[in-house]
Structure 1
Amino acid sequence: MQKTSPFFDERPDDIDISLLVIHNMSLPPGEFGGDDIEALFTGTLDENKHPFFKQIAHLKVSAHCVIRRNGTVEQYVPFSKRAWHAGVSAFQGRSRCNDYAIGIELEGTDTAPFTAAQYTSLASLTHDILSHYPAITLGRIVGHSDIAFGRKTDPGEAFNWCQYRQSISLGKIK
């Protein structure tokens, strides 16, 4: 499902897309469903709807895609464009991960198990991304915590990296 975020720009001309970053998000924190993630990514979040929103309503953030609890994939930014998902970040000594990364948000938290539908959709989406961006290898699929060490913790302890990596490395969607 295509949605449109205003929070993106052009990637630098000489950049190969070579990193996939897995995130998690729930709005309000710990709550699933609703349209608050979409509102944040489209700049329409009502700061009066929840006390936490006063802290974040001014942010200009986006991800390329969000995978909802039921497995629905919503795309906010074309993969060829630079989404604003990683913030201050570095991977293997190279900073500004937004320049060369694709960011996928899973609707969830660090501690709540993700759904089977989310893993299925994530594996399918990953296969599509890998087929179009060969510089993204298994070793270049990371969590937000891996590129923003000490600042971010997502996708968190509940994310089953083993299951996810097996599903993409074996070419199977589990």
Structure 2
Amino acid sequence: MLTLTGHRLDQAHWCPSPNFNDRPDPDDISLLVIHNISLPPGQFGGPWIPALFNNALDPDAHPYFREIHELRVSSHFLIRRDGSLLQFVPCDKRAWHAGVSQFEQRDNCNDYSIGVELEGADTVPYEAAQYRSLAALTVLLQQHYPAITDPRITGHEHIAPGRKTDPGPAFQWARYRDDLVRFREEMA
């Protein structure tokens, strides 16, 4: 069972990122945004995602890194392929994950959302362990931040259409929602 203490997930490996700031309204945490990331693109494992989120990506380690090593981005959470969890930003702070975005006519989703990165790519199937961890994390976040209702869970592609494509067609929304139902039933 996952637990949250002081806006930090007790079971996550803590990798504090400098890429965050205060939310305009710290009590307004009302959206969950699901992303994907792989570094280099389509490759999994390794230290590259935490390095990116901590402004420590070596531009000489891979040609693609030369294009992105100066980005200042983060997310609250990363779910690895094996389902393990890393946390970069406390949930009560604004992580820099959504960029130019809008949900239900409201701009700047970073202001009021929690960002969860899945280690993956748009067209690569996600692992069962990732769906389980995402469902468990979602239920926990909804308990602590009740404004994140099921209709307020979305993908990066939905809040930044035309600019972003993740979590992509490989993400099975129906499976994720079924896992949420099963997880809630197990907890009841």
Are residue 118 (structure 1) and residue 130 (structure 2) matched? yes
When normalised by structure 2's length, the TM-score is: 0.90
Distance, in Å, in 2 between the alignment partners of 1:14 and 1:5 is 18
Shift of 1:95: 0.1
8 A Cα contact 2:30 2:113, kept in partner: yes
Shift of 1:16: 1.0
Counterpart position of 1:30? 42
Shift of 1:168: 1.4
% identical aligned pairs: 58
Equivalences, count: 173
Shift of 1:13: 2.9
Distance, in Å, in 2 between the alignment partners of 1:14 and 1:131 is 17
Indicate which of 132, 152, 163 corresponds to 2:144: 132
**Residues 159 and 135 (structure 1), Cα distance of their counterparts in 2 relative to 1, 3 Å cut:** same
When normalised by structure 1's length, the TM-score is: 0.97
Q: Deviations over 1:126-150 (max 9, x none)?
A: 1110000110111000000000011
Q: Tell me the SS of whatever aligns to 1:142.
A: strand
Counterpart position of 2:76? 64
Q: Provide the alpha-carbon RMSD of the alignment.
A: 1.1
8 A Cα contact 1:138 1:169, kept in partner: no
Counterpart position of 1:89? 101
Distance, in Å, in 2 between the alignment partners of 1:66 and 1:58 is 20
Structure 1 unaligned blocks of 5 or more: none
Distance, in Å, in 1 between the alignment partners of 2:20 and 2:141 is 19
Q: Deviations over 1:23-50 (max 9, x none)?
A: 0000000000000000000110000100
Distance, in Å, in 2 between the alignment partners of 1:144 and 1:22 is 6
Q: Tell me the SS of whatever aligns to 2:86.
A: strand
8 A Cα contact 2:26 2:92, kept in partner: no
Structure 2 unaligned blocks of 5 or more: 1-12
Counterpart position of 2:177? 165
Are residue 54 (structure 1) and residue 62 (structure 2) matched? no
